[in-house]
Chain A
Amino acid sequence: MPDGATSNSKRVEPRDRVVIRFAGDSGDGMQVTGTQFTTESALAGNDLATLPDFPAEIRAPAGTLAGVSAFQLNFASDEVFTPGDDLDVLVAMNPAALKVNVGDLKPGGILIVDREGFNEQNLKKAEYDRNPLGDGSLDRYQLFQADVAKLTSAALKDLGLSARAVFRCRNFFCLGMTSWLYHRPIGPSESWLSDKFKKTPELVEANIRALRAGYNFAENSELFAVSYEIRPATIAPGKYRNITGNTATALGFVAAAQKAGRPIFLGSYPITPASDILHELSGLKQFNVYTFQAEDEIAGIGAALGAAFGGAIAITTTSGPGMNLKAETMGLALAVELPLIITDIQRAGPSTGMPTKTEQADLLMAMYGRHGEAPVPILAAATPADCFAMAFEAVRIAVRYMTPVILLTDGYLANGAEPWLIPDPASLPDIPVQLRTDPNGFFPYLRDQVTLSRPWVVPGTPGLEHRIGGLEKEYLTGNVSYAPMNHEQMIRVRARKIAGIVREIPPTQVLGPETGDLLVLGWGSTFGAITQAVRELGAAGHRVAQAHLRYLNPLPPDLGSILRRYRTVLVPEMNLGQLVRLIRAEYLVDAVGFNKIQGRPFKVSEIVSRCLRLLDGTTLEESVTEEHP
């Protein structure tokens, strides 16, 4: 039985890191395959990062270029910051998957295809004139052709399954092959299958057989002469779990609510890529989580605000289009000064844009997208696992300052995964909540002297009956007031309250030299690519440092002085230059933008080469697009 040990007859070569992508038709189960390969890799002890990439259509026409679904994984024996730039391995289930993805495969890279998928019909759908498997166009790769469908059906011959069911097991055959190739243990996938198809034992049997058949085929056939070993990474000891950004976000909220001793109320309306937080929290009701799938985004945030009035940790989750709908209620939330967390899982816009693709173009909307003087604190997570920390922090700040807080993540963080060292709950900060019950000296807008926040009073509390609302309030009493000076006072106190959140921000970590030629300043999901790029530049002897912002409003108090310690500041963003605009306005620093708006994260190499040109003295703004039209 295959157990990760490899037969001695074949050569084993060590590798430090491997970037693999599984690509096929939407119906080919590539996300499952990639996920299982990831699970196996995590259990093999590698550090890793993933990038699922799928079409927005649930079932695009089979075999077409539009229907290609892919899952990329970077696993290594040392630290991993990104899902990887170029591929070492591409598994392509059909011509369309090949055509869409082969450009990312390194020369000399491993290309595994299902030969039978390259039939006339599929070739035509993928717009190939000739079969690329035979015309020499793939000569610069190590091409491995296996008759996956035929081998799978042979393995499943006596199970009496329909041809279609058999066909659908091909992905596990491929998982078996790649598991052998990289010494992955297939036990975890077998137990996953046993659970997943518990109700249909014949499918458990079929998929496990396909998995083993693929594994054995790779071991025994002549196809592969070499297999590869990637040693486990040395990472901090402790218990880890693989976690996607969306799951981490959900868990961060729950942990924070528990620490605050309050229940969670999530009001949300489904939207890609935010829905998984709704799904995740819906499955955690046992932790005092109340989820409400509202009739629209406005009702989602409205109900959340009502729940905040009622004393819950109130959350709403959405993506760009939903953010637009929530704007008016955010204004109300900051006027009535109730805690509320608005989570925007950014996706490629404007309008419906590219719903399953990532982008960072909502920062200025988060900053300014409300009428009136309406400041809201903004936090942004840097990695999938960091979503936990920032979700937790968003709750802490919302409650402490009685304010709506915007938490920004994006599609890449939401769906990407990485191993996460499960924190010790005792190490998480406490979130003290004081619900006011004392009528003595009570005013609805009596402010805390330090934080300037007003008391949180839950309806039902005797003697504290009061009214709140969107009309301007009198400074202390909260009664409706149109007095000119009062309005200015209220505008200013709300602004001061938000500005005062700087006292919560830890010192900004600068990675690299304390002064130097170049600081790469990032926010959000560009963290991985920037970190890797700056490391590589540092290793090559350049005086380049990195700082990454997780607090975007207010900005960290030490940022201005950090920026001035470098000759040049480069701000890579997946937008047309939003943080760079804020930085230039705030600090009068001549920061340079670097922009990529392709629905895909930066590659490490893109950032490295941009930095190198800057270090050469070029300071013009550039975008990735201009380099690759």
Chain B
Amino acid sequence: MSVPSASDQKPSKKDFVSDQDVRWCPGCGDYAILSQVQKVLPELGIARERFAFISGIGCSSRFPYYVNTYGFHSIHGRAPAIATGLKATRPELSVWIVTGDGDALSIGGNHLIHILRRNLDVNILLFNNKIYGLTKGQYSPTSEVGKVTKSTPIGSVDHPFDPIALALGAEASFVARSIDVETKHLQDIVRRAHHHKGTSFVEILQNCNVFNDGAFADVTEKTTKADATLVLEHGKPLIFGKNRDKGIRLRNFQPEVVALGEGISESDLLVHDERNPALAYLIARLGPPHFPTPIGVFTAVDPAPARGSSGRLRLAAVAAAPAFALGGFRWHGEDIVREEVDDVVDDVLHGHDTDGASRRVHQGDVPETPDAHLVECVGNWVGEPEHLGVGRHQVAHRPVEITLLELQQQVAFGDDADQSVARHHQQAADTMLTHHSNGIRDGGRGRQ
């Protein structure tokens, strides 16, 4: 069901440059990120109109204005929520969330962990400059302890989040880090994020040259970066250093930096495995002052088949299925067929049991009223309070099977289920099965 691209020629970077002036401070790391993303997008084989960039508020969140795709600059911290609704409604879109360290980890922290938990098939680019840029330089949830800013004249006291560890803690299925100025590496990571099915979380170390200049100097300065950066590669030992003569070894379950040679060989080192989130967490805890800063893909796990003890089939798998449509229904970006509308409305208005009631009447169980009008009743009542929260329809996070059960129960629980309603439910159930999907409600199969 592919929509033809707007342009017939092979798209190039300039197709993804909007007509708006970029308004970041000269020298800001955001420029480099924008440029790499604009370079990668045309290579992905997706028509321009199929991209949507959703952001919150912050310098970084101005990003969508500069990319000539669909875009939504929303409110502080809420981009994951908006992206959730868009992706659920338009699964065929490639949805990108652009956010900052304050936007994602402070005001939007709740939405971030929940979108990762749901594993919606979107890509998150978190520009971490360890500062609130747009509001002119207050410390952020990634600022180091003791950070002196306008709001913390004697230094901040809060311990920083590590975005990678946080994402892994939320069981994100793809977690990676790159650096604004590492153009090639950044492009690779952006590409990989795109190809991952499920939420891709990418932290990009970004220099705010106005309010937090040099926050990542150790990993960007020519003289120090080789010793300060650990480039992760799947299946390869953890080696770093200008002469690639240092490595990370595990001793007594503790990582340590060792020099290669002198009785220590590559085979003694930890080997990176993207499919092992536990290892990813261990690596995420590396960093200054005792360790180099790891960059690259920490973890990339296929959401299906189930992974880890939780064994979750999550939305990613659903979104990955080509036939995925809204909640598994026949709607797929197209209008509902008009002629059927009134029939469908009629069905919904009569609810679960209309003909049931009339059947009862005809069977003579219920005395016919003199007026011969028919009064039908349904079981949709507010029950005792215990029924209020956990009533007939458990709401979210239940897999298809439960939904089918639910449909059957609904048929059973209506005052008197009739054939047409049952048929309708069955149709819906069939549609769901063929689409292997139940939208967001699929999250949490392992928690039945």
Contact = CB atoms under 8 A, between A and B. Distances in A.
Interface stretch (A156-164, A302-310, A484-492, A536-544): A302-310
Contacts of B395: 270, 278-279, 282, 291, 293
5 contacts: A240-B376, A263-B89, A285-B327, A292-B440, A302-B111
Contacts of B50: 459-460
B85 A292 contact: yes
Contacts of B376: 42, 239-242
A140 interface: no
Contact of A310 (B90, B348, B413, B439): B90
Given A275-B388, A467-B70, A458 B85 contact: no
A329 B79 CA distance: 11
Greatest chain A CB density within 10 A among B69, B72, B371, B383 is at B72
B319 interface: no
Interface string A459-498: 1111111111111000000011000000000000000000
Interface of B: 3-6, 18, 20, 47-50, 52, 54, 57, 64-65, 68-75, 78, 80-90, 92-93, 110-111, 114, 326-331, 333, 335-336, 338, 341-351, 354, 357, 360, 365-367, 369-389, 391-397, 403, 406-407, 410, 412-416, 424-425, 427-428, 431-432, 439-441
B114 A295 contact: yes
Nearest to B372: A237
B8 to A, nearest CB: 11
Instruction: Please give me the 4 A-B residue pairs with the lowest Cβ-Cβ distance, nearest first.
Output: A302-B81, A306-B85, A469-B73, A286-B428
Given A44-B367, A422-B354, 18 more contacts: A31-B383, A43-B366, A45-B369, A187-B365, A232-B370, A235-B373, A261-B338, A290-B89, A291-B441, A303-B85, A303-B88, A307-B86, A309-B89, A311-B333, A460-B50, A460-B92, A467-B70, A469-B73
Interface secondary structure of A, over-half rule: mixed
A329 B428 contact: no
Given A196-B413, A417-B381, A465-B70, A187 B386 contact: no
A336 to B, nearest CB: 7
A42 B378 CA distance: 10
A238 B5 CA distance: 52
A303 B82 contact: yes
Contacts of B330: 288
A29 interface: yes
B428 A307 contact: no
B369 A480 contact: no
A292 B385 contact: no
B329 to A, nearest CB: 5
Contact of B20 (A273, A331, A462, A479): A479
Interface in A185-241: 185, 187-188, 191-192, 195-196, 198, 232, 234-241
Nearest to B350: A422
A54 B416 contact: no
Interface of A: 3-4, 26-27, 29-32, 35, 38-39, 42-45, 52, 54-59, 69, 185, 187-188, 191-192, 195-196, 198, 232, 234-244, 246-247, 251, 254-255, 258-259, 261-263, 265, 267, 270, 272-273, 275-276, 278-280, 282-296, 298-312, 314, 328-329, 331-332, 336, 356, 414-415, 417, 419, 422-423, 425-426, 428, 433, 458-471, 479-480
A266 B82 CA distance: 13
Contact of A259 (B82, B341, B416): B341
B392 A283 contact: yes
B3 A462 contact: yes
Contacts of A470: 57, 73-75
A488 to B, nearest CB: 22
Nearest to A234: B371
A39 B82 contact: no
Contacts of B427: 286
A190 B393 CA distance: 23
